[in-house]
Amino acid sequence: MNDMTPTREQREARLEGMGCKRKRVEDIRFTQGKGNYVDDVKLPGMLHGDFVRSPHAHARIKSINTEKALKVPGVLAVLTAETLKTVNLAWMPTLAGDVQMVLADGKVLFQNQEVAFVVATDRYAADDGIGAVEVEYEALPPLIDPFTAMDADAPMLREDLAGKTEGAHGPRKHHNHIFEWTVGDRELTDLAFDKADVTIKEMISYHRTHPSPLETCQCVCSFDKIKGELTIWGTFQAPHVIRTVVALISKIPEHKIHVIAPDIGGGFGNKVGAYPGYICAAVATIVTGKPVKWVEDRMENLTTTSFARDYHMTTEIAATKEGKVTGLRVHVLADHGAFDACADPSKWPAGFMNIVTGSYDFPVAHLAVDGVYTNKAPGGVAYRCSFRVTEAAYCIERGMDILAQKLGMDPAELRLKNFIKAEQFPYHSALGWEYDSGDYHTAMKKGMETIDYAGLRREQAEKREAFKRGETREIMGVGVSFFTEIVGAGPSKNCDILGIAMFDSCEIRLHPTGSGIARVGTKSQGQGHETTWAQIIATEIGIPADDIMVEEGNTDTAPYGLGTYGSRSTPVAGAAIALAARKIRAKAQMIAAYLLEVHEGDLEWDVDGFRVKGLPEKFKSMKDICWAAYNSVPPGMEPGLEAVSYYDPPNMTYPFGAYFCVMDIDVDTGVYKIRRFYALDDCGTRINPMIIEGQVHGGLTEAFAIAMGQEIRYDATGNVLGGSFMDFFIPTAVETPHWETDHTVTPSPHHPIGAKGVGESPNVGGVPAFSNAVNDAFSFLGSTHIQMPHDFWRNWEAAKRLGVTG
Ligand code: PCD
Ligand SMILES: [Cu+]
């Protein structure tokens, strides 16, 4: 070795592997406006489709007259449910076992529902065509309040299900009932409540909101009549699932369907489901023989595509007078809108809501969820937690605060007292999960020390006294939230979508000169997979991350995968990537042994190649081995260096975190100021700390939006009130607080690289932190629970209700 030989550290740094704050490679094109999004797909002769939508929330359709529309210059076709019936596509299956109208069939069930699809030479002509379609409606009584959905005299929404007493998830109790789902031991839980010293009960609602990604949902469909092939470019978080759904409902053989998800401008769960626009564009290209583009506008996106939450959770906790929790009982009324179009794994009608015991050692618990139909848009999947973990975390984190208040205990102290202890992992929760790993006490204490929790409480006590003396009009709240996430759906034993197990996949192919391509079954929408996936490979096989190209989103080239949502990419695909890389390394080891004329067992891995044990100068780098793989492999070995891995995770991963929010609220105006927000996340092994930080910043900003103002509201007749950015709160840099981030590292014991997901965590933990801060601020005035979102007006209303302002 001479002086020019790089040190081990230098070789490691050159790889930019796991743990490196590698800059996002995709940002080179994104920041220069050189991304390639669906709307950038422009094909010769391409037509444009757009929808006639219902102004009513609930109405019968008496007639649709398309004659005038068809005379509008540029309009080529108008599809209605009747047209779609000729190809058996007026309805489509949802991922939740329900069916959904593609175009209104006989009646409409929510405002802005798709009624007809106008296809024209350009978007403007399509719009003129929409104006010329004549639809005659007969208004029906709307059902907006989910609490009245199962009243005896409630209007029947889903006439297609009339008389059906069995739904996709068991018996239906009423014509607007979708399912009842129960978990846990009812009897033992009731007993715990009978014996409890202290109990609390509160209706905690997580309102309806919407992720509203920068880019709306869209697609371009192009049918090649000669080859009988359908190509779909679309904003799909799960391209392979879309291909399978299209194959099942169109009867086009799956190998003749090409689904391509190009760059995506944010997904946030909004782009998991299948929407009528996709089906209509596909039918339209087959009918017209021309490519057809469908692009939603902002209002269409906000009012009709996958909303989030709308869970009304009656929460009860039983405890001893010393503050040890002894039982949890939760009933959820789930408002699903007109169709059950959630995208949970098949066996989980309410997602992973049974993580509602949170980070606490509840000996017994019981959860019951009733899903109901209302005259609102379908969905329920979205917004940085597709599987209802956010609802669960909000429920338990609000509940613990309410219990602390009743016990006269500090909320952080109550949590510390009830945490699952580090030595209890793997921990079996009362509602059936096996938490893989955690160290809650360490995380919580680190957070409390960093923000000087005790000092904040002292300050708050002083401020409260000053408020009572009339010296200030400001009240101070400290919001505590300690969440446990559950991500990585999921193990084939209990997770499937449409019968397909929720594995994920990776295929790595190394080229002779020592670079390569990795194709993965996931699909980044901004998370930075092109950067992080290459980092895993770099560490595993010693090829610099810059020399690995990552490709996702093309069903012809990527191995089958279930896509990106529910923070599943790192737990599932991340593992597939590591294992595919290890297969390559195993073959590389055989080649190296052959080249160095030693036994495989005599070699050891050293950063970027193999070294003969005890003979450090005998070394073959991965680059050398790549070349050899194409010309001098051991006799009998196949040439080439590539591997595929399909990974079926043995368990979910359970990231967690401790969040604190310090807030001051002026009682006379309701105006709040967020003084401090501290977020400690534990996502196990950290692949790219900078990307993690970005994920946390983004998720916290969204949590802030939800907790402090964002809402999709409906009036009594079913008009959407949050349908544009005039009424729907999107925080800008001006409103967004400063985020302090921190971490601990508790690797997942079953994941090949120990990583857990992180993308969803900040939203899961963030919302309760904000809401608890507001509630904590008001608590000394006798309030137990104030409903989100906590905008200025509602804060002022709360102050008024509590008699501290006029
Ligand atoms: N440990 C760790 C973890 C993680 N990571 C990173 O981070 C990220 C994320 O991850 P995750 O957690 O795994 O996740 P994913 O699967 O990938 O993704 C998903 C998520 O993601 C988030 N984030 C985001 N970002 C952006 N930019 N955009 C978007 O859209 C979005 N979305 C959101 C959502 S909503 Mo759902 O769908 O509702 O369910 S779910 C979700 C990536 O890149 C990775 O790699 C790292 O580094 N490390
Ligand atoms: Cu989730």
pLDDT of residue 386: 75
Q: Is the pLDDT of residue 227 over 70?
A: yes
Radius of gyration of the chain (CA): 28
Nearest to 564 by CA among 532, 531, 530, 524: 524
Q: Give the C-alpha separation, 567 to 656, whole Å.
A: 13
* Interval 373-387 mean pLDDT: 90
Q: What is the pLDDT of residues 71-112, one digit of tens each?
A: 999 999 999 999 999 999 999 999 899 999 999 999 999 999
Helical (H) or strand (E) element with 82: helix 81-86
* Closest protein CA for atom 24 of ligand 1: 527
Q: Give the C-alpha separation, 116 to 135, whole Å.
A: 9
CA separation (Å) from 563 to 236, 261, 327, 355, 497?
9, 11, 37, 23, 11
* Closest protein CA for atom 18 of ligand 1: 567
Could you tell me which CATH number the domain at 385-486+652-801 has?
A: 3.30.365.10
Q: What is the pLDDT of residues 332-371, one digit of tens each?
A: 999 999 999 998 899 999 999 999 999 999 999 999 999 9
Please name the fold of domain 8-35+504-647.
Aldehyde Oxidoreductase; domain 4 (3.30.365)
pLDDT of residue 168: 93
How many A from CA of 234 to the centre of ligand 2?
Answer: 23
Give, as one character, the DSSP assignment of residue 376.
S
pLDDT of residue 2: 56
* Interval 756-781 mean pLDDT: 98
Nearest to 432 by CA among 509, 377, 482, 486: 486
* Closest protein CA for atom 22 of ligand 1: 759
Q: Would you give the distance in Å from CA 718 to the centre of its chain?
A: 27
* Closest protein CA for atom 46 of ligand 1: 687
Q: What is the pLDDT of residues 551-594, one digit of tens each?
A: 999 999 999 999 999 999 999 999 999 999 999 999 999 999 99
> Is there a catalytic annotation at residue 626?
no
| 8 Å CB contact between 110 and 338 | yes
Ligand whose nearest atom lies closest to the CA of 306? 1
Ligand whose nearest atom lies closest to the CA of 698? 1
Q: Is the pLDDT of residue 1 over 60?
A: no
Ligand whose nearest atom lies closest to the CA of 27? 1
Whole-angstrom distance between the N-terminal and C-terminal Cα of the chain?
Answer: 81
Ligand whose nearest atom lies closest to the CA of 764? 2
Q: Which two tokens stand for residue 40?
A: 């950038």
* Closest protein CA for atom 9 of ligand 1: 759
| 8 Å CB contact between 12 and 607 | yes
Widest CA span in the chain: 89
> What number does the ligand 1 atom closest to the CA of 570 have?
13
Phi first, then psi: give them for residue 726, nearest 5 degrees: -70, -35
CB-defined site of ligand 1, < 6 Å = 213, 237, 266-269, 272, 382-386, 525-529, 532, 564-570, 683-688, 691-692, 695, 698, 755-760
Query: For a substitution probing ligand 1, which of 206, 695, 763 has the most ligand atoms within 8 Å of its CB?
Result: 695
Q: Is the pLDDT of residue 683 over 80?
A: yes
How many A from CA of 134 to the centre of ligand 2?
Answer: 42
> What number does the ligand 1 atom closest to the CA of 383 have?
38
pLDDT of residue 4: 79
CA separation (Å) from 211 to 407, 710, 716?
37, 10, 24
Give the burial class of 732: count Cβ atoms within 10 A of its Cβ; 0-12 exposed, 13-18 middle, 19 or more buried.
Answer: exposed
Q: Is the pLDDT of residue 257 over 80?
A: yes
Identical topology for domains 8-35+504-647 and 38-140+216-264+271-304: no
| 3-class secondary-structure state, position 451 | coil
How many A from CA of 204 to the centre of ligand 1?
Answer: 28
Nearest to 741 by CA among 762, 757, 759: 762
Q: What is the pLDDT of residues 102-111, one digit of tens each?
A: 999 999 999 9
Which of 384, 388, 611, 686 is labelled catalytic? 384
Q: Give the C-alpha separation, 539 to 536, whole Å.
A: 5
How many A from CA of 599 to the centre of ligand 1?
Answer: 42
332-341, 379-388, 400-409: least confident range: 379-388
Q: What's the CATH superfamily of 38-140+216-264+271-304?
A: Aldehyde oxidase/xanthine dehydrogenase, a/b hammerhead (3.90.1170.50)
Angle in degrees, CA 196, 200, 201, rounded to 5: 125
pLDDT of residue 315: 98
| 3-class secondary-structure state, position 301 | helix
| 8 Å CB contact between 115 and 64 | yes
> What number does the ligand 1 atom closest to the CA of 564 have?
16
For the chain, the domains span: 8-35+504-647, 38-140+216-264+271-304, 385-486+652-801
Q: Which two tokens stand for residue 278?
A: 């996709």
Give, as one character, the DSSP assignment of residue 339.
S
* E strand spans, 268-307: 292-295
CA separation (Å) from 613 to 1, 539, 596, 640?
17, 20, 12, 26
Cis upstream peptide for 512 (omega within 30°):
no
Query: For a substitution probing ligand 1, which of 352, 523, 527 has the most ligand atoms within 8 Å of its CB?
Result: 527
Which of 215, 391, 552, 760 is labelled catalytic? 760
Query: For a substitution probing ligand 1, which of 485, 523, 567 has the most ligand atoms within 8 Å of its CB?
Result: 567
How many A from CA of 157 to the centre of ligand 2?
Answer: 29
| 8 Å CB contact between 307 and 270 | no
Cis upstream peptide for 349 (omega within 30°):
no
Q: Is the pLDDT of residue 39 over 80?
A: yes
Which of 100, 113, 218, 237 is labelled catalytic? 237
How many A from CA of 760 to the centre of ligand 1?
Answer: 7
Q: Give the C-alpha separation, 47 to 152, whole Å.
A: 48
| 8 Å CB contact between 276 and 103 | yes
Q: Which two tokens stand for residue 505?
A: 């996949």
**Tell me, what's the ipTM?**
0.99
Which of 280, 342, 385, 661 is labelled catalytic? 385
Pairing of strands 257-260, 229-234: parallel
Query: For a substitution probing ligand 1, which of 570, 741, 751, 753 has the most ligand atoms within 8 Å of its CB?
Result: 570
Q: Give the C-alpha separation, 246 to 240, whole Å.
A: 10
How many A from CA of 499 to the centre of ligand 2?
Answer: 20
> What number does the ligand 1 atom closest to the CA of 237 have?
37
Q: What is the pLDDT of residues 61-70, one digit of tens each?
A: 999 999 999 9
* Closest protein CA for atom 38 of ligand 1: 269
> Is there a catalytic annotation at residue 385?
yes
> What number does the ligand 1 atom closest to the CA of 533 have?
45
> What number does the ligand 1 atom closest to the CA of 386 have?
39
CA separation (Å) from 538 to 509, 557, 613, 784?
13, 22, 22, 52
Q: What is the pLDDT of residues 142-170, one digit of tens each?
A: 999 999 999 999 999 999 999 999 999 99
Split at pLDDT 50, 70, 90, the class of 430 is: very high
> What number does the ligand 1 atom closest to the CA of 755 have?
1
Pairing of strands 740-743, 672-682: parallel
pLDDT of residue 209: 96
- The one-letter code for the residue type at 117 is F
Query: What proportion of the chain, given as a percentage, has pLDDT over 70?
Result: 100
* Closest protein CA for atom 25 of ligand 1: 527
pLDDT of residue 385: 83
Ligand whose nearest atom lies closest to the CA of 355? 2
Ligand whose nearest atom lies closest to the CA of 682? 1
Q: Which two tokens stand for residue 799?
A: 């102050």
| 3-class secondary-structure state, position 398 | helix
| 3-class secondary-structure state, position 498 | coil
* Closest protein CA for atom 2 of ligand 1: 686
Phi first, then psi: give them for residue 92, nearest 5 degrees: -135, 155
How many A from CA of 340 to the centre of ligand 2?
Answer: 18
How many A from CA of 763 to the centre of ligand 2?
Answer: 10
Q: Give the C-alpha separation, 285 to 277, whole Å.
A: 12
* Closest protein CA for atom 21 of ligand 1: 759
How many A from CA of 524 to the centre of ligand 1?
Answer: 8
* Closest protein CA for atom 8 of ligand 1: 527
* Interval 220-237 mean pLDDT: 98
How many A from CA of 190 to the centre of ligand 1?
Answer: 39
Q: Is the pLDDT of residue 622 over 70?
A: yes
Q: Is the pLDDT of residue 424 over 90?
A: yes
Q: Is the pLDDT of residue 3 over 80?
A: no
Tell me the DSSP string of 26-61: THHHHTTT---BGGG---TT-EEEEEEE-S-SSEEE
Tell me what percent of the chain is helix, strand and coil, each rounded to the nearest 5: 30, 25, 45
